[in-house]
Each structure stands twice: as structure tokens, then as C-alpha cells.
Amino acid sequence: MGGIAALARADGHDVSGQDENVYPPMSTQLEELGISLHTGYSAEAIDDDVELVVIGNALSRGNPAVEHVLNANIDYVSGPRWLGENYLSNKRVLAVAGTHGKTTTSSMLAWILEHAGLEPGFLIGGVPGNFGISARAGKALFVVEADEYDTAFFDKRAKFVHYRPSIALLNNLEYDHADIYPDLAAIETQFHHLIRTIPGNGRIIVNRHDANLGRVLERGCWSPTTGFGLDSETGADWTVRLAEPAGRELEFFHRGESAGKLEWSLTGRHNALNAAAALAAAHEVDVDAQTAIEALALFRGVKRRMEYLGEVGGVHVFDDFAHHPTAIRLTLEGLRRSVGGARILVALQPASNTMRAGHHLDQLAPALAPADFVFMHSTESLEWNPATVFAQLQAGGRFRHQLDNLLADLRAEARAGDSVVFMSNRGFGNAAGRFLNGD
């Protein structure tokens, strides 16, 4: 929604917005664009002469702003539909979908196209370091982070069916969004709906390691496919090999032939896969592999995607947007390979609806296993006891209701050489910044 607001502002509209929780980096970006933000929802914050209200999927009937829009007969639309009709209908769209890695892979792809001189437009659910903004109009190509979450309270289709891409990149598929999808099969159906929108002269780029995606394609596919993977055993068109354990050195292969080597700052097998996917997508719009690899060498990551914030007292501080045990596990495994035997301390806020409901509870302790100690905090009630997770961890963990107490515990525990990772898909009360600055 913040990115859509930025696109509307760039198009010459006066834009304002409301949200329950307004926090950086998006709040900072919007304020710099001259977009006024109202914390909380109210009819009073909607001007009488408003042209159109774009309603996000977090809002439902009963919300005071929604009720005012309906009662006053104000024109309204969902974010994905507005985007599809205003920015995507006359562009070649490259959509990046999947449970994990959408934001990072979209950012990589947009930067590769930018480095190649193609000046792409993009809408990304984060702030790529190479751009400093989450959205722009661009020229003929448009990279969109394609989310499978539902569109709005009045449109229960997945967001990505509104985008009609010519190139769809499918990173992975797992069960998530338990608040709207009853099981994995329901999410697979949504991905199948996306597949149905890809034209026959388009292209589907798919992770050949992912059996769930394979099952989606078996339900029907009318477009050519390109596979990517970690090694040649997958039979994928594009593969990547980790030349050193942490993943800071990679070699890419296209149909068995070396396409080039990369040295970069990112780590982890998941980012190696993200990079291979981005190379495959860029190839479809005639960007050669060497140009793409040159761009990735200059890739600066995404804010709050394992973002390195700095060092305090010899302690390295990271901020990560964590919403699913698989993403947590991959991030921490990548960090473990990078730091070796140095200690990793995790501060986790399980904030997504799925995490708070405990749908992935059996996966959470294994995901946190690479950490040496885990601190946990939640501002909302959890439908499970954190002690059940801590009991499965070798070093245990600690839950704190008050964020100040969690930060105090972290400061008492952390010592020079440690890495501290703050993980949440919400603002986390700016815990990472407070820890770094001693607040």
C-alpha cells in the first residue's frame, strides 16, 4: 500500500493515508514524498472532496474508515486492481511470487534491469538499498512483488491475479496465511489461478526443488517454463553452486555451461537461489548473464531483510523481516555459515496471524536451532506457550512481555563478537535501533 501511494503521488495526485501502525522504513519514505500519514482509522481523516479511496486487505467491515467510505458512497478500489489498471496494463510485467524471498528477488531483478539500462518500474514490499524507494513508474518493464494474500474485504481473490504478468517467477510454495487459507491445497489453487493468467507467449520461471510448485504446474500449464535450482541434478536450465560455505562466492550455470562467477555481500543458500531466479528472469528480457552478475555484485540488499545495522560494543546488529519458520531457518543457517562458531542471539517477535496462532509451532524450534539463545516478545496474545519452544532449544530461551525488559536482557547477555538478530514482520517497537543506539 505504501508503494501504491508513492506511485499515485508520482502520477500527480494528492495522497494521504491511514494505518494502525506507522513505522520506518515505509513511514519515512512516504513522509519524504509529501504523503501525510494518519495513525489509526477515522472518517475525519478522509477529506470531503476525496477522488478515490484505495483500501488495503488488512481492513474489514466495521472499520470506521471503511464504514464512512461505504455510507458516503465514495468511490473505492483495492490496491492490486488500482495497480493493474493504472500501471500494468500497458507494460511488460515480471511478477515474483512465492512464500519466501519475494521482496529480495524482486529487488535483485529490478536492480539487474536498472543496471542494464532498461529503467524498469517496480512495486516491492520493502525498500531496496540500490533504489531507496519501494516503487516507481519506470518505462516499458515493470517488476511487481506478487503476493498470494487476498485482495480486499470485497475481493477474496489473491492479489497476484490482478497483475497479468507475461513473466511469472515462482520461488517456492509453503503453507502460510492461516487466517484466510485452510490448508496448503487452497494456496496451491491460488497459484494455479496465477498460472492461468500467463499468456502462451509468456514464460514461467520455477524452482525445480519445490514439489508443491511442481504439483501446481501439473494441474495445467499453457506457457513455456524455465527451471532454476541449486545444482545440476535438478535438471534445471539455470543452476547455482556455492563456491564457499557461506554463499558469498557463487558460480552460475546455464544449461550446464558456466555463466559466470559472483562475489557479493549476501549469504545463504536461499539468496543463491534468489539470485539464480533473478538471472533467469532477466535473461527473458534479453539481459545477458554477465551484466546480471555485475549488477548482483553491486546489490545492496533490502531494508529489514537481514539488514546489517551496525556494531555496538563489538556486537553486530541485524534487522530481519521474519514471518515464517522456513525463512527464519534459512536466514539463521546462512548467518551460522558466515560467523562460524561465534554466538548468535535472536530477538523474535512472532507477529503474523499464522505464527501467533501456532500453525507452524512444530517447525519453530528447529528453525531457531542455529541460534545460541532466543529472546521472545509479543504485544498480542499467543495461542501457544513459548516455553514449549524453549524446551526444545539446546540453550533455551526467555519470553518477555515488556520490550524494555527484553532489551535489558539482551544488553546483559551480548558480548563482543556476538551477532544479534531482531526478527519480526512488524515494527518491533524499533527494538533493533534502540539496541544499537543504547535507548
Q: CB–CB of 325/420 below 8 Å? A: no
For residues 217-245, average pLDDT: 92
85 in a structural domain: yes
pLDDT range class, residue 331, cuts 50, 70, 90: confident
Amino acid at 251: E
Neighbours of 421 (CB within 10 A): 23
302 in a structural domain: no
For residues 368-380, average pLDDT: 90
Q: CB–CB of 264/301 below 8 Å? A: no
Query: Does 170 lie in the same domain as 30?
Result: no
Query: Does 91 lie in the same domain as 69?
Result: no
Decide: residue 266, CB within 10 A, 0-12 exposed, 13-18 middle, 19+ buried.
Answer: buried
CATH number at residue 391: 3.90.190.20
Query: Does 70 lie in the same domain as 92?
Result: no
Task: Say whether pLDDT at 194 is over 90.
Answer: yes
Q: CB–CB of 106/82 below 8 Å? A: no
Cell of 312: 555496538
Residues of the chain with pLDDT > 90, as a percent, come to 69
CA distance 439 to 143: 38
Query: Does 280 lie in the same domain as 138?
Result: yes
For residues 266-289, average pLDDT: 95
Domains identified in the chain, total number: 3
Strands 141-145 and 92-97: parallel
pLDDT range class, residue 285, cuts 50, 70, 90: very high
Q: CB–CB of 130/300 below 8 Å? A: yes
Decide: residue 131, CB within 10 A, 0-12 exposed, 13-18 middle, 19+ buried.
Answer: middle
115 in a structural domain: yes
Give, in order, the Cα–Cα distances in Å from 248 to each of 231, 269, 276, 315. 17, 10, 14, 21
Sign (positive/negative) of CA torsion 272, 262, 266, 286?
negative
pLDDT at 353: 75
Q: Which structural domain, as residue segments, surrounds residue 59? A: 2-74
CA distance 326 to 345: 18
Can you list the alpha helix ranges (DSSP code H) found in 244-288?
Answer: 269-283
CA distance 151 to 57: 5
> Among residues 297, 320, 354, which one ends one of the domains?
297
Rounded to two decimals, what is the model's pTM?
Answer: 0.83
Per DSSP, the chain holds a count of helices (H) and strands (E) of 15, 22
Residue, of 198 and 90, whose pLDDT is higher: 198
pLDDT in tens, 200-221: 999 999 999 999 999 999 999 9
pLDDT range class, residue 408, cuts 50, 70, 90: very high
Strands 257-263 and 249-254: antiparallel
Task: Say whether pLDDT at 24 is over 90.
Answer: no
Cis ω before 25 (30° cut-off from 0)? yes
CATH number at residue 31: 3.40.50.720
CA distance 138 to 256: 34
CATH number at residue 270: 3.40.1190.10
